[in-house]
Amino acid sequence: QVQLEESGGGLVQAGGSLRLSCAASGGPISSYAMGWFRQAPGKEREFVAAISRSGPTTNYADSVKGRFTISRVNTKNTVYLQMNSLKPEDTAVYLCAAGLNWEYMVYEAYVQYWGQGTQVSVSS
């Protein structure tokens, strides 16, 4: 099994950028599709982005497409989420996830491992 730990969250102004990292231990992330979800207070957790095991294929929620980029460096056992043009509605706890494949990562039921999350706050 894999343990996931996010970092890189913080407070930024609207239009700013943040880069989140998800460091894995306990096993190689090359065995998993990886993804990011987010959860705002009082809201359901929602899918943000996913990436295939080797990294050539990605998938994004419509709300972040064109602004966020997911990537991975398997040799570092790390997944990243580059977030640009941030909006106040992006404010949430961002959670790293590992699952079977990128196609199914859009659904929480197919996530096998979760990180604890990192807070992203965007002010206007």
**Residue 12: pLDDT band with limits 50, 70, 90:** very high
Share of the chain above pLDDT 70, in %: 100
Is the distance from CB of 20 to CB of 12 less than 8 angstroms? no
- For the chain, the C-alpha Rg in angstroms (whole number) is 13
* Residue-level pLDDT at 64: 98
* Residue-level pLDDT at 56: 87
pLDDT tens sequence across 51-103: 999 888 999 999 999 999 999 999 999 999 999 999 999 999 999 999 988 88
Q: What is the C-alpha separation between 113 and 100, in angstroms, rounded?
A: 10
Q: Is 115 helix (H, G, I), strand (E, B) or coil?
A: coil
Annotate 30-59 with three-state secondary structure.
HHCEEEEEEECCCCCCEEEEEECCCCCCEE
φ, ψ dihedrals at 90, nearest 5°: -80, -10
Q: What is the C-alpha separation between 108 and 98, in angstroms, rounded?
A: 10
Share of the chain above pLDDT 90, in %: 90
Q: Which two tokens stand for residue 97?
A: 């996830």
* Residue-level pLDDT at 1: 81
Type of residue found at 82: Q
* Residue-level pLDDT at 54: 87
Q: Is 72 helix (H, G, I), strand (E, B) or coil?
A: strand
Q: What is the C-alpha separation between 98 and 113, in angstroms, rounded?
A: 5
